[in-house]
Amino acid sequence: MAPIRVGLIGLSKTGWAPIAHLPYLKATDKFEIVAVQNSSVESARDAIKLHSLSESTKAYGSSEDLANDPNVDLVVCSTRVDRHKACIVPSLKAGKDVYVEWPLGKSLADAEEISSFKKQGLAIVGLQGREAPIIATVKDFISSGKLGDVISSTWTGYGGMGGDVAQEEYAYFADKSVGGLCSPSTADMRWTGFRKPIAAPSSNLPRRMAPSFPTNILRRTMTPSSSMARWPPPSLCSSQCTEDPPFKGTPALDWRILGSKGELRVTASGVFLQIGYPDQKIEFFDASADQVTEVSVQTDKWDETLPQPAGNVARVYELIAGDAEGKKSLCSFEDAIERHRFLESLEG
């Protein structure tokens, strides 16, 4: 079968595209990068050369030119969220398949506007945490019945910005007006990718509690350094994320799922399970045996052949190239809008 021809938007020297998308795309015969679009044709040419792509790869400086390329089947957008609309709407209008990183838009309204241009082509958002082996392992463990009936879930994490003061180059992540990830619902941005594959709550939505620290100069655009969300009964789920470092010697992520037969604990040195960490692990406390054991995390060939940030993205691409049934687990634009709505409700 002929490879799916990819037009990649946002291939920089460093950043998410080269560390998460490129390793798989260069290693597979299911996809072929045929075009790169950056802020200018010159920048795109530099990226093609820097990353040793084929000399036949087209270089574009505008989204319209990329959208008009008949040799591009799939447009992949890996840019800042406030640039998503300008980057992908032309390709959506052209009926191309589109894969854009999360979040879809810088706000719910922005995401809904972007989605309104979608036609019949595949349109998905990069919530690759759904495909993470550690998440699949948690899901399968719960489904096995070993945990019993799920009673509650408590997610606590350190966001990684460094506390009440952060370096100036991270200002984008703290600027809610352009969709920066350190919004008042920071923790839930990270949690939302896992809600559906594990156990989605009912129609009851959580409400964010008041921030425990004041905003600072860098985060003056409504970005408190701590946020908490709770689902009302009977869901009994809570998530809390702080931008202050964790207590020394404790994991940056501590996620516990209490069941009628014991408790499951997921820990890692960071909260981004969609990326993965070498030290991430799952432990199970068996109440009847009064014993804690480690649960083996599922692995596949991508864990052995690709760097960790690229593994879950590779699994997304495999689903894109697969059958219709597999595509159902991908995050559609409709799924993304549901999550945008969920996140904005936390601020109500």
Domain 130-299 has CATH 3.30.360.10: yes
What pLDDT score does 187 carry? 37
Label residue 170 by pLDDT band (50, 70, 90).
Answer: low
Mean pLDDT to the nearest integer, 147-168 = 80
Percent of the chain scored above 90 by pLDDT? 69
Q: Where in the chain is the domain with CATH 3.30.360.10?
A: 130-299
What pLDDT score does 202 carry? 41
Q: Where in the chain is the domain with CATH 3.40.50.720?
A: 4-127+306-332
pLDDT at residue 183 is higher than 60: no
Is the Cβ–Cβ distance between 63 and 84 less than 8 Å?
no
Phi, psi of 332 (to 5 degrees): -75, 170
Q: How do residues 219-259 score in pLDDT, each as one tens digit?
A: 434 344 455 555 445 557 888 888 778 889 999 999 999 99
What pLDDT score does 290 carry? 98
Q: How do residues 187-200 score in pLDDT, each as one tens digit?
A: 334 444 444 445 44
Only one residue has tokens 């432990």, namely 283
Helical spans, DSSP H, in the chain: 16, 22-27, 41-50, 63-67, 84-93, 108-115, 133-144, 186-199, 301-305, 308-321, 324-327, 333-345
Q: How do residues 22-66 score in pLDDT, each as one tens digit?
A: 999 999 999 999 999 999 999 999 999 999 999 999 999 999 999
Mean pLDDT to the nearest integer, 344-348 = 74
Who contacts 210 (Cβ-Cβ below 8 Å, separation ≥6)? none
Full-model pTM: 0.85
What pLDDT score does 166 carry? 63
pLDDT at residue 201 is higher than 70: no
Domain covering 4-127+306-332 in this structure, CATH number? 3.40.50.720
Label residue 174 by pLDDT band (50, 70, 90).
Answer: low
Nearest partner of 273 among 333, 161, 194, 199, judged by Cα: 194
pLDDT at residue 213 is higher than 50: no
Q: Long-range contacts made by residues 265-273, C-beta under 8 angstroms, separation at least 24?
A: 266/134, 266/138, 270/158, 270/160, 271/157, 271/158, 271/159, 271/160, 271/187, 271/190, 271/241, 272/190, 273/129, 273/132, 273/134, 273/135, 273/190, 273/194
Mean pLDDT to the nearest integer, 116-128 = 95
What pLDDT score does 115 carry? 98
CA dihedral 174, 179, 182, 186 (to 10 degrees): 170
| Alpha-carbon span 319 to 213, nearest angstrom | 42
Mean pLDDT of the chain: 85
